[in-house]
Structure 1
């Protein structure tokens, strides 16, 4: 979906707490966690996150946006390649209490296409 020379974004294979349309922003080069990311990628991540946030507001009419990123075992990291979660949010959505649920393939494709169109 969102692609440049340094990173890309995608709708992952699962969502949390029934909140659909979440995305991951991922660097093309391998960096294990935030401690490995070069400073030069900071602006790229911020720009991508801001663009996704606006697309989510336009597509999903969400009330807010949350981001999440995990580092190290004690930080709940379970994928050993840096990535940033971006979530559309709604009042009372219980994101943090929700369980991880797989998307069905068609929904995932639909959310990605809607966001891609909003990104321009």
Structure 2
């Protein structure tokens, strides 16, 4: 079942179309053949440095994404997790993924949230807080540097 409205202009497809590699002034952290990651426009509960891991091709949700992308997602998630540990000295990593309106999906393109975690950090009860453009660019630059 599809939930994107007719004529949906997918923001993640727009970003994917412009990605030969991450530009130094962008919020993009990682670009591989099939997936890319970026620092989103907001964070939760004061936990900064979260990323979205996104397939370059359009798949609305977990029911659409092909099995063949599993290794790409796992490899990129592991790379992001290590970069987050190196940059933020976090105590752990969490991932989450939403599907459909009842699952709190709000962008109709599959994506995986990857969070640096700390004891009693309030992620699950945390409010959505926007990043400034400068924060996003700085966080992305730090994570990109840790990936190389």
Q: Is TM (by shorter chain) over 0.5?
A: yes
Tell me the TM-score range normalised by the shorter chain.
Answer: over 0.9
The structure number with the bigger radius of gyration is: 2
2:63 to 35, 51, 55: 35
What's the offset of the Cα at 1:105?
1.2
Stretches of 4+ aligned residues off by more than 3 angstroms? none
Aligned length: 120
- Structure with more of its chain in helix, by fraction: 1
Structure 2 unaligned blocks of 5 or more: 1-28
Aligned residue in 1 for 2:95: 67
Deviation at 1:110, TM superposition (A): 0.7
Greater RCO (Cα-Cα under 8 Å, separation 6 or more): 1
TM-score after normalising by structure 1: 0.98
How many Å apart are 1:38 and its aligned residue? Answer: 0.3
1:9 equivalenced with 2:37 (yes/no) = yes
List alignment gaps of at least 5 residues for structure 1. none
